[in-house]
Amino acid sequence: MSEPESFEVRLAVLPVQGLRSPSAETVVAALSDLGFSQVERLSLGKLFIWHTRAPGLKAAEAEALQMAERLLANPVTEEALVLSVTPSEGTAASPPARASEGEREGNPESAPPAAERLR
Amino acid sequence: MSDASRVGAALAPEAVVAIFPGSNCDSETVRALTRAGFRAHGVWHTDLARGATLYVLPGGFTYGDYLRPGAIAAHSPALRVLREAVDEDGALALGICNGFQILTEAGFLPGSLEPNRPTGFRCRPVTLCPKRAHGPFARALGTSTVNWPIAHSTGRYVVSEAVRRELWRGGRVLAVYADPDDPNGSVDRIAAISDETGRIAGFMPHPERAADPRLGARDGLRFFERLLRECEGPQSTSPSEPREVSRHVG
């Protein structure tokens, strides 16, 4: 078995097509009020970004889908999309380094991963 | 405590209210169950054990509603205990509001509770119409309309078309919101459902908030009193025939 590598995974969870979303409808109405009246079919969901160690890219992606199935997405109303799985420079155990990099760059995604904030 | 009250307490069915981080209706639920005659108490969710007659997952905002309402609580070991208590001991399980959300997230009940349409937190009494349904919760609900408060922003019941039909066919829709009184846009105005055995039920409205005569609200108390009789009677593991009720709505 190959040595685990560190990956950054980005996963989006969105409402399934056809499900009415009051929050999305409200955002569309607000955008229209601001003059963006051309916006339609807006989908509003969640973005999860985390670091993990896995034997390879495919394994990291498979793990992400399992996580979505078991917790991150509600299979009745949501679908999960793995947006990207990329080798991360740091290790999974060092999200603060990622955060400080983001802060230096003014990256709005520089907050700690969601799981860390929940503790 | 007198001997008489000790004997009475020992005979009363035990109702356990599971308390999760963020539960906030546990105290009034225990109070309402006690008033109805149950030997009721709250238990921290990780300490939940088998042996009770009725388990209640109360309202609140477990784990801050992070991720989705009920999603994280649904993975508590308490849900495993609940499953075993219902399947193997014949216990009953009731989820109220956030408890209903936990039960759907855990897969004990079908469908999902989604944000209200129109968007917003609704906190007011609603009129509930019992439907042709089976099981102890249906019998406890009775056949007349009741007024219970709601307090939620994520109570719009959604379910696939196939399961929606199955719910109606199987007598599992316990109650719907009265016609002009739909507070959240639920499919078919569904407010409460049960599982296929009738032993697990989820209600978005709060019976425990209509259980104090001092507030002029007794409909919820009557529900718990009838539920007590269900718990005292012989426990049936097979669903009884759906009963006829008024069909002026839904």
pLDDT in tens, B84-129: 999 999 999 999 999 999 999 999 999 999 999 988 999 999 999 9
**B134 is a catalytic site residue:** no
B71/A74 CB distance under 8 A: yes
Clarify whether B123 is annotated catalytic: no
- Tokens 């209706």 belong to residue: B25
Q: B108 — contact with chain A (CB < 8 Å)?
A: no
CB B48 within 8 A of CB B82: yes
Is A1 within 8 Å of chain B by CB? no
Strand order in the sheet with B200-203: B39-44, B14-19, B54-57, B92-96, B200-203, B190-194, B173-177, B122-130, B146-152
CA nearest to B113, candidates B104, B121, B122: B104
Contact across the interface for A118 and B115, Cβ inside 8 Å: no
- The pLDDT, as a whole number, for residue A112 is 37
Give me the residue label for tokens 């006690």: B34
pLDDT tens for residues B129-168?
999 999 999 999 999 999 999 999 999 999 999 999 999 9
According to DSSP, the residues that pair with B17 across neighbouring strands are B42, B56
* Closest to B111 (Cα-Cα) out of B23, B198, B224, B190: B190
In A24-43, the residues whose Cβ lies within 8 Å of chain B are 25-26
B88: Cβ contacts below 8 Å, ≥ 6 apart: B50
Check residue A106 and give its pLDDT.
36
B121 touches chain A (CB under 8 A): no
pLDDT tens for each residue of B177-235: 998 888 999 999 999 999 999 999 999 999 999 999 898 899 999 999 999 999 997 55
Q: What is the pLDDT of residue A100?
A: 33
User: Cα–Cα distance between B130 and B142 in angstroms, integer?
Assistant: 7
CA atoms within 13 A on the CB side of A45: 20
Res A3: pLDDT: 81
Here the tokens at position A41 are 């079919």
Residues of chain A with pLDDT under 70: 1-2, 90-119
Q: Is B62 an interface residue toward A (CB < 8 Å)? A: no
A22 and B63 within 8 Å at the Cβ level: the answer is: no
Residues in chain B, total? 250
Give start and end residues of each alpha helix (H) in chain A: 22-33, 57-67, 95-105, 114-118
Give B236's pLDDT tier (boundaries 50, 70, 90).
very low
Q: What is the DSSP string of B122-161?
A: EEEEEEEEE-S--SHHHHHH-SS-EEEEEEESS-EEE--H
Q: Is B206 a catalytic residue?
A: yes
User: DSSP code of B60?
Assistant: B
First to last CA, chain A: 32
| A20, A23, A118: residue with CB nearest B66 | A118
Mean pLDDT of B26-47: 98
Residue with tokens 């560190």: A6
Provide the pLDDT for residue A90. Answer: 54
State mean pLDDT over B30-59: 98
Does B113 contact chain A (CB < 8 Å)? no
Closest CA to B146 of B111, B119, B168, B178: B178
Is A119's Cβ below 8 Å from some Cβ in B? no
**Per mean pLDDT, which range of A32-46, B49-63, B235-249 is the poorest?**
B235-249
Tokens at B11, concatenated: 């005979």
Contact B243, B134 (CB under 8 A): yes
pLDDT at B10: 56
Tell me how close the Cα of B212 comes to any Cα of chain A, in angstroms: 35
B200 strand-pairing partners = B93
Residue of higher predicted confidence among B78 and B118: B78
Confidence (pLDDT) at B242: 53
Q: Does B115 contact A71 at a Cβ distance shorter than 8 Å?
A: no
Comparing CA positions, the residue from B92, B8, B22, B10 lying closest to residue B50 is B92
Put simply, the answer to whether B71 touches A21 (Cβ < 8 Å) is no
Name the DSSP class of A71. Answer: I
Asked if the model's pLDDT at residue B70 lies above 70, the reply is yes
Residue A18, pLDDT score: 87
CB contact under 8 A, B67 and A19: no
